[in-house]
Amino acid sequence: MVSIKDVAKYANVSVATVSRVLNNKDTVSEGTEKIVKEAIEALNYRPNLVARTLYKKRSSMIGLILPDITNPFFPALARAIEDKALSYGFTVILCNADGNAKKEMDYIKSLEQKYIDGFIISTSQLEVENYDQFDFPVVALDRFIKNEIPTVMANNEEGAFKATKHLMEVNCKLIAHVRGPSGVGPADDREKGFLKAVKESTIKYTIVETDYDLYTAEKVAYQLLQNNPEIDGIFAGSDLIAAGVMRAANHVGLLIPHDLQIVGFDGIQLGKMLSPSLTTIEQPIYEMGAMAVELLYKQIEKLDLEKLHYKFSTKLIKGETTKNTRGFINE
Amino acid sequence: MVSIKDVAKYANVSVATVSRVLNNKDTVSEGTEKIVKEAIEALNYRPNLVARTLYKKRSSMIGLILPDITNPFFPALARAIEDKALSYGFTVILCNADGNAKKEMDYIKSLEQKYIDGFIISTSQLEVENYDQFDFPVVALDRFIKNEIPTVMANNEEGAFKATKHLMEVNCKLIAHVRGPSGVGPADDREKGFLKAVKESTIKYTIVETDYDLYTAEKVAYQLLQNNPEIDGIFAGSDLIAAGVMRAANHVGLLIPHDLQIVGFDGIQLGKMLSPSLTTIEQPIYEMGAMAVELLYKQIEKLDLEKLHYKFSTKLIKGETTKNTRGFINE
């Protein structure tokens, strides 16, 4: 690799002069600056970023901690974050925490030692006290960590309320909510929205819990549908869970949407591949990712944050897993 | 952060002594070494990895360059690589090249300056000459770059041959291959396998090309099926393409597998979520990722590679998008 010494030699100036040019100091004459810059170009010199990191204690890298990269919601989110981060000159380091708090802490500690500029964290498995030790800024995405940490999430409660209301509008009589794990913020908030909607009416309902995993969701839904044949509507806690519910419904022999109507949550591409296509609650994934990067960038640059906590509105996307409401509305 | 000075003070030795212990030099007495190690533990001191990187020109980071993180084949691959890399003490930096050669080079250059230990590259958009400039080891995964660069891939030609033979066994009369983009290695190899199979017989066939993108695949397949209603078998170049083909078949009004039989390629979880479930060619994704990490690790440690090029066998996974062959075989 070309060194700063090579540049100095080529330009016939001192190493200190090259360094001053690199650091945009005013103490170099325009003529000298031009010569140095030509040498840099001629030799294709790239400043040693590791040395710069050591000096500035900045790496222009941000970490993104995801609970599970194979859950298709998170690649969509990662893509949004990466696009936005690049526009700020950040390289994104993806960390797949895999539901393992130790793995997550190992990532954080090892990247902290590389002067990572900050983290966007989409997990909630660390103790809140862990965050107090951190020397770098953090943004919580799709999770709430604590009041002092900027947060970006969808309005999960509102979205779940819309999903459940839709199932009631299409005339479901017994609605089940197949929710994500207890203690995971979005899953808890979606249950709240579900309960709010069902409790406004006299509709019968039940709630079961699964992991965010296709086969677990299928197993849970299979048992639910076997034991409760009168269930005719399911609000699934995510699109991936909805895919599991649909597999279970097929095995039980229920026709969708004739016998069983389903609404998911997320609005990822997966829903369009399912057959029938999934009615779901769409989160504005791209906008959420972009906002998370902006909030992290502002903290890194020590700029003011106008607001700490952002909740994005969701939207019902009508697919084929629920019946058309038109007839119902016209009745 | 605790510094080496703090450790020296606590242990009542010089900074140089602590440094010698950290670097496992023999010039420190056992007693002193013990005291220093106790101080390191008591203060929870973590050596400054950036400084170490500068000294050793090693970062314990490896880069993984993917063409598109939202194509579900690649998160599955990334997960495998990350698991294996962690067992070697490597942090994986995920780079989403997004079909953009400039973006890919920017990632490589910026990470090279951070003394990245090596790259696993799953794209093939750079000119082969680019690789000659690199100072770090590379493994090509799911792509061939050049003879000197270790390669891990599935036997795409053999897999495509199996897929096409299966469509012939289930009695298809006119088979279309909806292939990935020209110039992308696996897509070219799969076409070769397809051609080998159809040319061994007198079966009629046709080939069309799409991107690895759901909606493009759907559009291409829709036109194909509209213009050639006699097509009764499709070998899709990937599971994601197969999902697009299935959407197109639904829009055209073809029943799967009654009117149209489909085989995909990859064997990712997506195939199980499709309805009917996808018959596909399974790549051993986990083993391929693990082998790529092993080959990179051996290069980093300057160990001998027994072999440079690995081709993994594939397996036909029977789903519901093709008919059962039992009746056919018994005839």
Q: How far apart are CA B121 and CA B115, in angstroms?
A: 17
Token duo for residue B329: 């075989």
Which region among A145-149, A281-285, B14-18 has the lowest average model confidence (pLDDT)? B14-18
Is the pLDDT at A1 greater than 70, yes or no? Answer: no
Convert the pLDDT of each residue in B229-253 to its tens digit. Answer: 999 999 999 999 999 999 999 999 9
- Residue B185: in which H helix or E strand, if any? helix B185-199
**pLDDT of res. B330:** 35
Q: How far apart are CA A209 and CA A148, in angstroms?
A: 30
Q: Do domains A61-153+285-312 and A156-283+316-330 have the same CATH topology?
A: yes
Q: Does A16 touch chain B (CB under 8 A)?
A: no
Q: Does A44 touch chain B (CB under 8 A)?
A: no
Q: Does domain A61-153+285-312 have CATH number 3.40.50.2300?
A: yes
Is the pLDDT at A330 greater than 50, yes or no? Answer: no
Q: Does A247 touch chain B (CB under 8 A)?
A: yes
**pLDDT of res. B331:** 33
Is the pLDDT at A116 greater than 60, yes or no? Answer: yes
Q: Could you tell me which residues are beta bridge partners of residue A83?
A: none
Q: Region A297-305: what's the mean pLDDT?
A: 92
Q: Region A89-105: what's the mean pLDDT?
A: 83
Amino acid identity for residue A117 in this structure: D
Q: How far apart are CA A295 and CA B203, in angstroms?
A: 59
CB contact under 8 A, A75 and B92: no
Convert the pLDDT of each residue in B106-115 to its tens digit. Answer: 888 877 776 7
Q: Which of residues 90-129 of B touch A (CB under 8 A)?
A: 91-96, 103, 107, 109-111, 113-115
Contacts of A270 in chain B (CB under 8 A): 270, 273
Is the pLDDT at A23 greater than 90, yes or no? Answer: no
Report helix angle A4-11 to A30-43, nearest 10.
120
Q: Which of residues 184-243 of A touch B (CB under 8 A)?
A: 214, 243
CA A247, chain centre distance (Å): 26
Confidence of residue B328 (pLDDT cuts 50, 70, 90): very low
CA distance B196 to chain A (A): 31
Phi, psi of A4 (to 5 degrees): -65, -30
Q: Region B5-21: what's the mean pLDDT?
A: 87
Q: How far apart are CA B87 and CA A251, in angstroms?
A: 39
Token duo for residue A255: 């026709």
**pLDDT of res. A328:** 45
More confident residue, A304 or B127: A304
Is the pLDDT at B47 greater than 80, yes or no? Answer: no
Is the pLDDT at A52 greater than 80, yes or no? Answer: no
Test mutation, A59, A87, A94, chain B, max B CBs within 10 A: A94
Give yes or no for a contact between B157 and B193, defined as CB atoms under 8 angstroms apart: yes
3-state helix/strand/coil string of B73-129: HHHHHHHHHHHHHHHCCCEEEEEECCCCHHHHHHHHHHHHCCCCCEEEECCCCCCHH
Q: Does A262 touch chain B (CB under 8 A)?
A: no
Q: Does A87 touch chain B (CB under 8 A)?
A: no
Q: Does A39 touch chain B (CB under 8 A)?
A: no
Give yes or no for a contact between A12 and B77, defined as CB atoms under 8 angstroms apart: no
CB contact under 8 A, B275 and A250: yes
Q: Region A251-275: what's the mean pLDDT?
A: 96
Q: How many helices (H) and strands (E) does chain B have?
A: 14, 12
CB contact under 8 A, B272 and A214: yes
CATH of domain A156-283+316-330: 3.40.50.2300
Which region among A265-274, B7-16, B47-56, B256-265 has the lowest average model confidence (pLDDT)? B47-56
Is the pLDDT at A58 greater than 90, yes or no? Answer: no
Q: Does A303 touch chain B (CB under 8 A)?
A: no
The domain made up of B4-47 has a fold known as 434 Repressor (Amino-terminal Domain) (1.10.260)
Q: Domain ranges in chain B?
A: 4-47, 61-154+285-312, 156-283+316-330
More confident residue, A22 or A237: A237
Confidence of residue B326 (pLDDT cuts 50, 70, 90): low
Nearest to A225 by CA among A252, A247, A206, A250: A252
Phi/psi region, residue B167 (left: phi>0; alpha: psi -120 to 50; beta: rest), is: alpha
Q: Which residues contact A55 (CB under 8 A, 6 or more apart)?
A: none
CA dist B87 → A67, B84, B325 (Å): 19, 5, 43
Nearest to A181 by CA among A99, A104, A245, A243: A99
Query: What does the radius of gyration of chain A's CA atoms come to, in whole angstroms?
Result: 26
**pLDDT of res. A329:** 43
DSSP states along B32-79: HHHHHHHHHHHHT----HHHHHHHHT--SEEEEEES-TTSTHHHHHHH
Contacts of A95 in chain B (CB under 8 A): 91
Q: Does A88 touch chain B (CB under 8 A)?
A: no
Give yes or no for a contact between B126 and B103, defined as CB atoms under 8 angstroms apart: no
CB contact under 8 A, B135 and A1: yes
Q: Given the structure tokens 């829903």, which residue do they identify?
A: A271
Confidence of residue A284 (pLDDT cuts 50, 70, 90): very high
Nearest to A242 by CA among A191, A276, A205: A276
**pLDDT of res. A255:** 96
The SS3 assignment for B306 reads coil
Is the pLDDT at A290 greater than 50, yes or no? Answer: yes
Q: What is the mean pLDDT of chain A?
A: 89
The domain made up of B61-154+285-312 has a fold known as Rossmann fold (3.40.50)
**pLDDT of res. B296:** 96
**pLDDT of res. B276:** 92
Amino acid identity for residue B301 in this structure: E
Contacts of B74 in chain A (CB under 8 A): 75
Token duo for residue B94: 């995920």
CB contact under 8 A, B93 and A91: yes
Q: Alpha helices, DSSP H only, in chain A?
A: 4-11, 15-22, 30-43, 49-56, 73-87, 101-112, 128-132, 156-169, 185-199, 214-227, 239-252, 270-273, 285-300, 326-330
Which region among A55-59, B18-22, B217-221 has the lowest average model confidence (pLDDT)? A55-59
Contacts of B93 in chain A (CB under 8 A): 91, 93-94
More confident residue, A96 or A251: A251
Give yes or no for a contact between A272 and A242, defined as CB atoms under 8 angstroms apart: no
Is the pLDDT at B172 greater than 60, yes or no? Answer: yes
CB contact under 8 A, A247 and B272: yes
What count of residues does chain B have? 331
Give yes or no for a contact between B285 and B268, defined as CB atoms under 8 angstroms apart: yes
Q: How far apart are CA A241 and CA A262, in angstroms?
A: 11
